[in-house]
Structure 1
Amino acid sequence: MKWKSLLIGTGLGLVAGYALAHTLKSEHVTAEKALKAAKRIFANKGEVTGSWIHMVPEVLERFDLTYEVYRGGITINIGEEQERFEFLLDAKTGAILEVHPS
């Protein structure tokens, strides 16, 4: 059940990231805007009670592709349980690339 929610959240994040990319003219999404978008996406799953993001993008190489990413995390209350996730956001588009329970 948790993985289904995680996959839905990741899909929503990708859609929101691509939409955000078309509205922003700069080369990078600011870390603040990226975190705000991630919080909106995760808020669909429950109450966001905490979040963080590294302000400086880092280079990530996956499958022979290079990305600049922000690393962040979020805490959500889902029903009676508190869930924590770490994520990677594409610094250019704001799209969520990866989500992992922490």
Structure 2
Amino acid sequence: MKLREIACGFAAGLAGGYLLQKAFNNKRLSSEQALQHVKKAAKGILDIDGAWIYLSSQDMNKNGLSYKVYKGGLTAKDEQNIHHYDFIVDASTGTVLELSEQS
């Protein structure tokens, strides 16, 4: 093998690895997948009756950190009342960043 062939193979492998890394780092959950994460996380503490989510993600800064997030809401019932909750979920990991009850 010539040195030129080895160098070309090395460069092609390096470029391919870089592109794969970019593809995996920019992976985001769909809004439906993010909603399923929220419902799963809230299932133990709320009796969920309904849920909705915005289809497009938004940029958000919280505590000095930047996130791509989805926003949405849940309705939950107890014995007498229906309660409405708003949530913010990380679009990359599905981690619930905020869950607050509406008055």
TM-score (normalised: structure 1) = 0.68
1:35 counterpart letter in structure 2:
L
| Structure 1 residue 59 displacement after superposition | 0.1
State the match for 2:101 in structure 1. Answer: 101
Identity of aligned residues (%): 27
State the match for 1:61 in structure 2. Answer: 61
| Structure 1 residue 36 displacement after superposition | 1.3
| Structure 1 residue 39 displacement after superposition | 1.4
State the match for 1:38 in structure 2. Answer: 38
Report which stretch shifted further, 83-92 or 44-53.
44-53
Alignment of 1:1-102 (within 5 A): 27-102=27-102
Point out where structure 1 has 5 or more consecutive residues left out of the alignment: 1-24
Equivalent position SS for 2:69 = strand
* Paired residues, number: 78
Which aligned segments of 4 or more residues in structure 1 are displaced greater than 6 angstroms? Answer: none
| Structure 1 residue 101 displacement after superposition | 1.0
| Structure 1 residue 98 displacement after superposition | 0.7
State the match for 1:21 in structure 2. Answer: none
User: For residues 24-61 of structure 1, what are the alpha-carbon distances to aligned partners after superposition, in whole Å with 9 as ceiling and x for unaligned?
Assistant: x6711111011112112222234321111011100001
Partners of 2:38 and 2:75 in 1: CA distance: 11
Equivalent position SS for 1:56 = coil
Equivalent position SS for 1:39 = helix
1:46 and 1:79 in contact (8 A); partners too: no
| Coordinate RMSD, CA, aligned | 1.6
TM-score (normalised: structure 2) = 0.68
Partners of 1:48 and 1:37 in 2: CA distance: 13
